Each structure stands twice: as C-alpha cells, then as structure tokens.
Structure 1
Amino acid sequence: MGDDHWLDLDTSKYPFPNTLWHIKPPKEIAIKVTVMLIVGIIGIILNSIILHILIKNRWLWSPSNYLIGNLALVDLITLLLCPWFMLVRDFYQQYVLKHFGCYFEGFLQASLLLTSVGAVMLVSYDRLAAAGLTPDARVTKSAAIKLIVITWIASMLLSLPWITHREYVERQWADYLETFCAEDPKVLGIYWHFTLFILVWIPLGLMVVTYGAIMWRLEWSAKKLSSKGAGMAVSKAKTSAMRIAACVLITAVICRIPYTVLIYWRNRLSNEVNSVEGSFDAMWFAANYLIYMNCAVNPLIYGFTNRRFRKAMDRTPGIAWCKFGSWCCVYPVYKRKRILEVDKNTEKVFVIEGTPRPNRKLAHVIKNILHINKETLDFSVKIDEVTTKPTKITPLKI
C-alpha cells in the first residue's frame, strides 16, 4: 500500500525505506504449514470420498447429488491449489510469484471461491425446493448440469478484473530490488466490496432464508399432522433439519465473517510503511485460513449427514474398509439401536393380504410360516432404499 507518486519516483537514488527481513522465521513457517496441512489433507480426503462415492454408485445420480458433487469438486480443487499461493505470499517479504503469479493467483482464487459460493447457493435452493416448494420447482438432472456450467463460467467472468487490473512491478532502490503486485485502486477498490458481498453476505442471507423457510414448513406440517396423530415423523425430520441448519449457519458465520472484517480493516489502513504488518498480518492469515477451512467442512455438512451417502460409504469398493458411514455419526447410530431394542420387546401384529387357507398338513404349515417370515423381511425395507419388490403385508393399527 502506498501513494501513486512512488511508482514514478526514481527510487534508485534512495535506500529501501522498509526493514528487510526477506523470509519469516522457521518456527512461524512450520506452525502455519502444519495447520494448513491439517485442513488441506482432511478436506482433500473428505471431498475425494464424496466424489468417489458418486462415481461408483449410479443409484446416487440424482439432481441433488449432482449439486453436492459439484460443491465437493470445487472445494477439492480449491484446497489443492489455493492455500499454497497464500503461504508463499505470507512467508516472503517480496512478491516471488513474478508475472504469472500476479495475474493468475488472484484470478484462480476468486474464480474458485465464487464458484464454491454458487455451488452452496444451488444446494440451498434445492433443499428449499424439496422441503417447501411445489414439485415443478425442483431441479432436474438437465437443469442441474446447466446450472453448474453457468456457475463456473459466471465465476470466471466475474474474476477477470484480477487479470486486467493487476500488474507485476520491480522497483530498484539504491540497496535493494523490490518486487510487488500492484492493483488498480480505482477498479479493484470497488471490486473488493463487490467480491465481499458475493462471498459473504449473499450466501449468508440465502442460508437464513432457505433454512428458515424449511423450518417453517416442517413446523406447519408437524402441527397439521399432529392433530391427526401422525406428526411424529415430521417432528423427527424437523429436529434433524434444525441440527443441519444450525451447523450450516454457524459454520458460515465463523468462516466468512472474519473475511468481512479483513476487507473493511484493509480499506481503513493508512498509507504508511509497515501498516500491513503486526495485527493486520495475523488477521489476513486467519481470515484466509477460515475460508479454506470452510471447504474442508462442507463435505461433512452436505455429504456425511446424508443417510444415503453414509450407506454408500460402507458399500463402495476402495473406502468400504474404513467404515466412514458407521463411525461418522455415532450418536444417531446408537440412538437407532436403542429404538430397535425397544421394538424387539413390542408385540407386532400383521395382516397378510391374500393369506392362503390354513392346511393341517405339516408341509403346508411350514411353507406358510416361511412365507410369513419372507414377507416380514420385505416389509422391513426402509423407504429411502430403492426397491421395486411389492409389499404384501401391512401392520395392524392398534
């Protein structure tokens, strides 16, 4: 940060006005690399699992899962490429990425982060359409693919100012060669706020509206059905949706609000030497780190909380041995086992449609018993599993 007249001044006659430190201490570098590796490796593994499951299981190829897979792909590419640009910029006093880094780094980060926001917005709308809108408002497979392509293209177009309005500069001082990436303050000064609006405020607002509408819809359905004595299923769905909504909103606030503080702090800095060091330098690293941590948390929120994904995790070759679906949600599994144990002690009566006439012969008696057991197993298939086998028995309501 500095005044424009420094670019036209013959600096070769003056000594370098800043304190030279070249590269940060090894201890600080080791700590920052370690914390970034933790988030990067975990996020890469989790997003890769989501993509691997979708590729290997064709029965998961639904419009909703297309959108979740797109989000996982964006987060995976972001964690593979972007953090290392950030670390290099943080470790060195001068800009060592040269011309390529100056033009490509900002464009790459902005494109991927905007695409990630677009992917989150598509997933949020799909969940709202599934919970509270008409079937015509649902996203189809063809529409999902088109929306994904449009999101990628629009994000790249919106990120073009990072190429057209940045310039790599080398400035020779009497005792030092300074290198930095200069920004056009007339354009990028406004564009920073535009980017902030898209990265933070739009997704947060959409999440509040989306999950608020889902909660209202489930609350209304629960009250309507409870009067008929059938609101238990909706109440359970409402509780689960509330937990997911809380995780989404808390994660978004923690990971994105610091970036807002960073931008406003940056615009209020004075044009003085060393004004971006100290507490601002720490805030810059923390805000960017939390943005990348959000990419590592997204697969847990949007993928691992899905029962279909958890079942597919334990059946997909290559990752089945890890049993991700079994241990990622310990409490729901334990709670489900408790419910099953209670159900074992409850006497159940079934009415079998088209039951054959009783026959006193032992062979026919055994056949009827086996027939009842078989149909009981068919009835135990859960609703969310794909099956075309007809069920011939219904429980007798008491």
Structure 2
Amino acid sequence: MDDTVNYRKNLTVQFCFPGNSASCRKEVRSGPMNILLFIVLSCVSVCTVFLNLLVIISISHFKQLHTPTNLLILSLAVADLFVGMFVMPVRIMQLIDSCWYLGKIACSVSEIIIGQSMLGSLFSLVLIAVDRYIAVSDPLLYSTRITVSKTSLFIILSWSLCLLYVIIYLYFNDHLLQSQIIFRCYGECVVSVKHSWVIIDLIICFLAPCSVILILYSIIFIAARRQAKAVRAVTDASKRHGSANSSETKAAKTLGIVIFVYLVCWIPFYVSSLSVESMTTSSIVWTVFGWLMYINSSVNPLIYAFFYSWFRTSVKFIVTCRIFEFSSSSLCLHYLLF
C-alpha cells in the first residue's frame, strides 16, 4: 500500500498543453531514484562530449596525426560527440518529462539527427576495421593504397549513405513528412517502427556491420599471431618466449575489448526487438537497450584513443593549454599504431 502511494507521488500526471483539449498527459518523474538517474545519465553525457572533444582537438590540431587511420577515428569521435551532445540530452529529457514541446517538424529533425549520429558511429567502426585489415594484410602497399584524400572520400560517402538510410527508414515508418505524422495527442514525439523494418534494420544496422567487424578483426588477430611466430623464429630462444607472448596477449586483449564492448552494447537491443510486433521510442525495450548503444559512444574514445600513446601526450598539451603556443601543431608526437 505504501509503495503504491509513493509511486503516485513520484508520478504526477498533468497536461503538456493545458489550454489544448487534444494535449497529451504529462508525466513528470520527480522521485529520488529518478533524480539520481537524471544525474548519472547527465554525467555520462558530459563525459561523452568531453572525451570525444579531446580526440577531435588532438587529431585536428597536430599535423603529425593527420593520417588515414586517425581520420577514421576523428569521424568516429564526431559521431560520438553528436550522441553525447544531442542524442543523450534529448533522451534524458524524455525520461524526465514525457512531453515534446517543439512540434512535428522538430520531432522529425531530431530523429534524423539521432539516427545519423548512431549510424555514423557504427559505420565508422566498420571503416576502422577495414583500414586495419588492409594495413595488416598488405603493409608494404598500405601507404599508397590508403591515402588521406581517399579516406576522406569514404568518410563522406559513408555519412551520406547513413543519412539516406535514416530518411528512408523514417519515411516508410510514417515519421518524415509532416502530412504523414499522426500523433495520438498534441505534445508527443514517438516513432513507431513496423515489424518488417525491425527485420530490415536488424540486417543493415547490426548483422552486416557486426559480421564485417568480427571477420576482419579475426583475420587481424590471426595475422598478429603469425607475425609473433615469425619473430619467435628469428630471435634468441631466451627472449622470444616473452616477446611473442607479449605480442599475442596485447593483440588478443585489444581486439577482445573492441569486439566485446561492441557486441554487449548492440546485441540486447536488436535481439529484444524481434520479440515484439512493433516498437516505439517510448517503449521500455527501446529506452533501456537504446541507452546501452548510446553508452558505446562513451566507451569508443577509450578504446580507439586511450590505447594510443599519442593521445595521452596530446591530452597533456590540451589540458595545460600548450596547444596555444606558437607552432605547437608541428610538434612531433610519438604514437603507436593499432
């Protein structure tokens, strides 16, 4: 009985637009647990923005970091920055206040930005996997085959394809054109996804990129072990055991973290989406497992940047404001390739 009373106190029902008879009911969640959730998720959003900004400033400022691989990391950081700067705050506000006050057009635009940010992050991961595969499989010709200009072109192309897919996705789920959008009440911004598009999205946005990443990183790992064996064959017997094990352990650890975090963040959402006829952005499945995917954007800079020595060096320059010194962009940073 007491739990029921406390729940009703925490969930105060009002109206989004009191003067409008078609207004949605407003659910304001103000209990202690909701306030704690708001604080925690806000901290996650701020950390996501801060970490990805460090990556963006580092790669953009130091000329030595203007390499094809780092451009892909920059693309990933930009996508993850949008997730932390826009996607997370919008979802946090929807958790606290169920109303949408900006109208139908802003609702559609916000969903386009959210979809573009998430897909941009995902397909940047795929491009990084492809880049590392080419570097390992053909290291002698890598510098001629993969250039900054070609990488920039692929980044632009991938972002354009992501935007095209998001527009098609929203159009066929009746959430793109203002004439298409049908709200149950005034003050609502909810995307209802048809079951057929759940399957299509599962294939295009999960199974395909997941398969590519897993296959390419498996090949990279096998190549790393082969190289370790080659080193073992030409080095002193007393030293080779430690160096080979070190190389294999480092490769296994790094690639294991990459694959594990990716799968943990993306599998729950798509697996659970198959169990319902249609999904909406207000459903508990979308909310909980959607946040797992958002948090992937917080972890990405840790995986793809904090494992690089150049990032730790550049962060020191940024934090101490030494990047404002004359010719600081030309400084030589010692950094390790993936």
Matched, 1:108 2:121: no
* Alignment of structure 1 residues 169-180 onto 2, 5 Å: 169-170=182-183, 179-180=187-188
1:31 and 1:384 map into 2 onto residues whose CA distance is 39
1:46 and 1:182 map into 2 onto residues whose CA distance is 30
Aligned partner of 2:314 in structure 1 is 312
Instruction: Name stretches of at least 5 consecutive residues in structure 1 with no aligned partner.
Output: 1-14, 172-176, 270-274, 323-381, 386-398
Please say if residues 192 and 281 of structure 2, whose CA atoms lie closer than 8 Å, have aligned partners that are also in contact. no
2:214 and 2:182 map into 1 onto residues whose CA distance is 43
The one of 145, 150, 153 aligned to 1:143: 150
1:24 and 1:298 map into 2 onto residues whose CA distance is 31
Counterpart of 2:289 in structure 1: which amino acid?
Answer: A
The one of 145, 153, 164 aligned to 2:160: 153
- Asked which structure has the greater CA Rg, the reply is 1
Using structure 2 for the length normalisation, give the TM-score. Answer: 0.75
Task: Give, in angstroms, the shift of residue 144 of structure 1.
Answer: 0.7
The SS at the match of 2:275 is helix
Please say if residues 218 and 238 of structure 1, whose CA atoms lie closer than 8 Å, have aligned partners that are also in contact. yes
2:45 and 2:192 map into 1 onto residues whose CA distance is 32
1:195 and 1:276 map into 2 onto residues whose CA distance is 15
1:94 and 1:299 map into 2 onto residues whose CA distance is 33
The one of 243, 246, 249 aligned to 1:239: 249
CA shift in 2, pair 1:233/1:309, >3 Å = farther
Matched, 1:195 2:229: no
Aligned partner of 2:326 in structure 1 is none
Matched, 1:51 2:56: yes
Counterpart of 1:313 in structure 2: which amino acid?
Answer: V
* Alignment of structure 1 residues 66-85 onto 2, 5 Å: 66-85=71-90
Please say if residues 42 and 296 of structure 1, whose CA atoms lie closer than 8 Å, have aligned partners that are also in contact. yes
2:209 and 2:267 map into 1 onto residues whose CA distance is 12
Please say if residues 218 and 234 of structure 1, whose CA atoms lie closer than 8 Å, have aligned partners that are also in contact. no
Task: Give, in angstroms, the shift of residue 182 of structure 1.
Answer: 6.8
Aligned partner of 1:226 in structure 2 is 232
1:102 and 1:268 map into 2 onto residues whose CA distance is 20
Per-residue Cα deviation, 1:26-61 (whole angstroms, up to 9, x for no partner): 435313322211211111111111111112211111
Task: Give, in angstroms, the shift of residue 151 of structure 1.
Answer: 1.1
Counterpart of 1:169 in structure 2: which amino acid?
Answer: I
Task: Give, in angstroms, the shift of residue 266 of structure 1.
Answer: 3.4
The SS at the match of 2:182 is strand
Counterpart of 1:34 in structure 2: which amino acid?
Answer: I
Counterpart of 1:207 in structure 2: which amino acid?
Answer: I
Question: What RMSD, in angstroms, separates the aligned Cα atoms of the two structures?
Answer: 3.3
Task: Give, in angstroms, the shift of residue 208 of structure 1.
Answer: 1.7
1:254 and 1:222 map into 2 onto residues whose CA distance is 29
Aligned partner of 1:4 in structure 2 is none
Please say if residues 83 and 117 of structure 2, whose CA atoms lie closer than 8 Å, have aligned partners that are also in contact. yes
Counterpart of 1:60 in structure 2: which amino acid?
Answer: L
2:233 and 2:265 map into 1 onto residues whose CA distance is 41
Please say if residues 67 and 123 of structure 1, whose CA atoms lie closer than 8 Å, have aligned partners that are also in contact. yes
More displaced 10-residue stretch of structure 1: 135-144 or 60-69:
135-144
Matched, 1:264 2:245: no
CA shift in 2, pair 1:286/1:229, >3 Å = same
Counterpart of 2:305 in structure 1: which amino acid?
Answer: G
Aligned partner of 1:60 in structure 2 is 65
Please say if residues 192 and 278 of structure 2, whose CA atoms lie closer than 8 Å, have aligned partners that are also in contact. no
* Alignment of structure 1 residues 340-351 onto 2, 5 Å: none
Counterpart of 2:248 in structure 1: which amino acid?
Answer: K
CA shift in 2, pair 1:77/1:204, >3 Å = same
Task: Give, in angstroms, the shift of residue 242 of structure 1.
Answer: 1.1
Structure with more contact order per residue of length (Cα contacts < 8 Å, sep ≥ 6): 2
CA shift in 2, pair 1:206/1:217, >3 Å = same
1:170 and 1:222 map into 2 onto residues whose CA distance is 60
Matched, 1:217 2:223: yes
% identity of equivalent residues: 19
Task: Give, in angstroms, the shift of residue 227 of structure 1.
Answer: 2.4
